[in-house]
Structure 1
Amino acid sequence: MKNKKTEANICMVISKTFSGLNMNALKYLLPLWISPLTGVTLRCTFAAIAFWIIGFFVPKENTTRKEKGILFLLGALGIYGFMFFYLTGLSKTTPVSSSIFSSLQPIWVFAIAVLFFRERITKMKIIGILVGLGGALLCISTQKSDDLASDAFTGNLLCLLSSMIYAVYLVLSNRLLKSSGTFTLLKYTFTGAAVSSLIVTAITGFDAPILAQPIHWLPLGILLFVLIFPTVISYMLIPIGLKYLSTTLVAIYGYLILIVATIVSLSIGQDRFSWTQMIAILAICIGVYLVEIAESKDKKSPVSTNQQT
């Protein structure tokens, strides 16, 4: 089991590093080379096809029709909803601000555990949540729209909503993994997401100048990176982490997204250094740390519910 946990931690490091680079790659593409909703469609459809193809080469996993239906709905609402708000928000704000809200996922995971799974509430957890949310509100209320963020306020709100939806996906997929295999989860959730995205695209239209002639090799290469690494490979690695690590610990790896996106964004000029952003980042990190420390103490306590989130 120890080796499995080490493998799971390595998978999460790789997955979240790709996710951090994904923010910078998508910011380059959106909305000049591809519209946000078309980007969601390409990611979900490409991933669904890839997971079904890969699924033919892995051992068959036993899953009931009801479980497959639940996974399909989880993808249609959870994964698609997350990507819908995430890409739309990122197109309006900066990668650093977007990654700030991704770091809030452990707090949402705990809030879901409290509301639906009777997670124990402590003073430290409440303080952690308030500090983390204070950091998020600071980022939302102080960032101004400029040449790097066309509508920072709206973009930040959408990214905040996307982090909440993804936390729900983390909690539910963690519980569904107990009865269904990794590739069954990936195949059916992304099939659901692909169906939702195709329906929306049929209504809103397909907008991808990147695929028009003549071929623009740099944007196309960046798009292929997004489709293969942060989408297919990253999502293949997440269930491994969910299987052997607590959902909260998996969510905490979202800090890597923040670190990678911040370093790359400041290096290539996708964002500017801001003290308010740095304070927001610090507040969220402290808030999540307090929640995680409180949860660890609860698990060691004899009156702990031992409920993994």
Structure 2
Amino acid sequence: MKNKKLEANISMVVGKTFSGLNMNALKYLLPFWLSPLLGATLRCVFAAVAFWIIGLFMKKEPASSKDKVMLFLLGAIGIYGFMFLYLIGLSKTTPVSSSIFTSLQPIWVFVIMVLFYREKVTFMKILGIAVGLGGALLCILTQKSDDLAADAFNGNMLCLASSVFYAVYLVLSKRVLMSVDMITMLRYTFTGAAFSSLIILPFYGFEARLFSDAFQWWPFVVLMFVLIFPTVLTYFLVPVGLEYLSTTLVAIYGYLILIVATITSLLLGQDRFSWMQTTAILLICFGVYLVEIAEGKEKKAANLS
């Protein structure tokens, strides 16, 4: 089990590092080279095809029709909802701001657990949620639109909503993984996400200078990086973490996204240093820390009893 937990932690480090770089790569592509909705469609369809091909070479356990339908709906609503909102939001704000809201996922996971799974509520957890949400509000209310963030307020709100969708995906996929294998989960969730994306795309049109203008290597290389590494590889690694680590710990690895995206954004000039952003980051990190400390104490007390 120790080796499995080490493998799970390594998987999360690699996956979340690519997720951090994904924010910078997508910011480069959106909306100049392709529209956010087309970007979401390309990611969902590419991943669905990739996971069905990978599944041909992996051992699969039988899954019930009920589980398959559940996975399809989880992908159609959870994964696509996350990508739909996140890519539109990122096109309007900066990678650092969008990653700030990704860091809220552990708080949303806890809120979902309280509302639907009777998670115990304590003063420290409530304080942690309040502090974390205070950091999010600070970012939303103080960031102004500029040349790097065309519509900062709406972009941040969309990224905030996307983090809720991803938290729902984490909670539900953790439970589905108890009865199905990893590749089955990925096959059907991304099939559902691809289905939603192909249904919605025609209403908004196929907008992509990457494919309509004269061919250029660099945007194409960046797109292939997004499709292969942050999409297929990262989502392939997340279930490994979900199987052997707690849902909240998996969500906490979102901090790595924040670190990678912040450093890369400043180096590439995709964001500027801001004391307000820094304060928001610290508040969210401290809020999640309080929630985690409270959960750790509860587990320790339960083990002693």
User: TM-score, normalized by length of structure 1?
Assistant: 0.97
Matches of 1:243 and 1:255 in 2, distance apart? 20
In structure 1, give the amino acid aligned to 2:21.
Answer: L
In structure 2, what is the Cα distance between the partners aligned to 1:278 and 1:253? 18
Q: State the match for 2:94 in structure 1.
A: 94
Q: 2:153 matched to which residue of 1?
A: 153
2:128 matched residue in structure 1: 128
1:37-60 deviation line (CA, Å, top 9, x unaligned): 000000000000000000000012
Gaps of 5+ in 2: none
What pairs with 1:106-145 in structure 2 (closer than 5 Å)? 106-145=106-145
Match of 2:46 in 1: 46
Residue in 2 aligned with 1:220?
A: 220
- Aligned residue type for 1:12: M
Answer whether contact 2:40 2:84 (CA < 8 A) is retained: yes
Letter in 2 for 1:90: L
Which amino acid in the other structure matches residue 99 of structure 2?
S
For residues 267-278 of structure 1, what are the structure 2 equivalents within 5 Å?
267-278=267-278
Aligned partners of 1:99, 1:267: CA distance in 2, in Å?
A: 16
Are 1:27 and 2:27 matched, yes or no?
A: yes
- Provide Cα deviations, 1:211-247, integer angstroms capped at 9, x if missing partner: 2242111000000000000000000000000000000
**Deviating 4+ runs (over 6 angstroms):** none
Q: Give the Cα–Cα distance (whole angstroms) in 1 for the partners of residues 213 and 283 of structure 2.
A: 47
Residue 220 of structure 2 aligns to which amino acid in structure 1? L
Structure 1 pair 41/304, CA: closer, same or farther in 2 (3 Å)?
farther
> Aligned-pair RMSD on alpha carbons?
1.1
Query: 2:193: which partner in 1?
Result: 193
Report how far residue 203 of structure 1 moved.
Answer: 1.8
1:1-309 equivalent positions in 2, closer than 5 A: 1-302=1-302
Q: Would you say the 8 A contact 2:60–2:183 is kept in 1?
A: no
Q: What is the DSSP-based 3-state SS (H/G/I as helix, E as strand, rest coil) of the residue aligned with 2:119?
A: coil
Alignment partners' CA distance in 2, 1:202 and 1:91: 20
State the shift of 1:302 in Å: 3.1
- Identity among equivalent positions (%) equals 71
Q: Secondary structure at the match of 1:302?
A: helix
**C-alpha distance in 1, partners of 2:52/2:76?**
16
Mean Cα deviation higher: 194-203 or 212-221: 212-221
Give the whole-Å Cα distance in 2 for the aligned partners of 1:14 and 1:94.
23
Structure 1: which 5+ runs fail to align? none
Kindly tell me the number of residue pairs found equivalent between the two proteins.
305
**What amino acid maps onto 2:228 in structure 1?**
I
Q: Is the 8 A contact 1:16 1:234 kept in 2?
A: yes
8 Å contact from structure 2 (residues 43, 231) kept in 1: yes
**In structure 1, C-alpha distance between the alignment counterparts of 2:60 and 2:104, rounded to whole Å:** 36
Quick one: which amino acid aligns to residue 210 of structure 2? Answer: I
2:77/2:193 contact within 8 Å kept: yes
Rounded to whole Å, the distance in 1 between the matches of 2:236 and 2:304 is: 32
CA distance in 1, matches of 2:248, 2:205: 38
Q: 1:170-213 CA distances to partner (integer Å, 9 max, x unpaired)?
A: 00000000001100000000000000000111221111111224
Q: CA separation of 1:13/1:303 partners in 2, compared to 1, >3 Å: closer, same or farther?
A: closer
SS in 2 for 1:121: coil
CA distance in 1, matches of 2:205, 2:46: 18
State the shift of 1:34 in Å.
0.4
User: Which string of whole-angstrom CA distances, capped at 9 and with x for unpartnered residues, describes residues 51-95 of structure 1?
Assistant: 000000001221011110110000000000000000000000000
Structure 1 Cα separation of the partners of residues 133 and 243 of structure 2: 28
Alpha-carbon deviations, 1:253-304, whole Å to 9, x = none? 0000000000000011000000000000000000000001101111111399
What SS class does the counterpart of residue 214 from structure 2 fall into? Answer: coil
Instruction: Note if contact 1:298-1:304 (Cα within 8 Å) is conserved in structure 2.
Output: no
Q: Secondary structure at the residue paired with 1:271?
A: coil
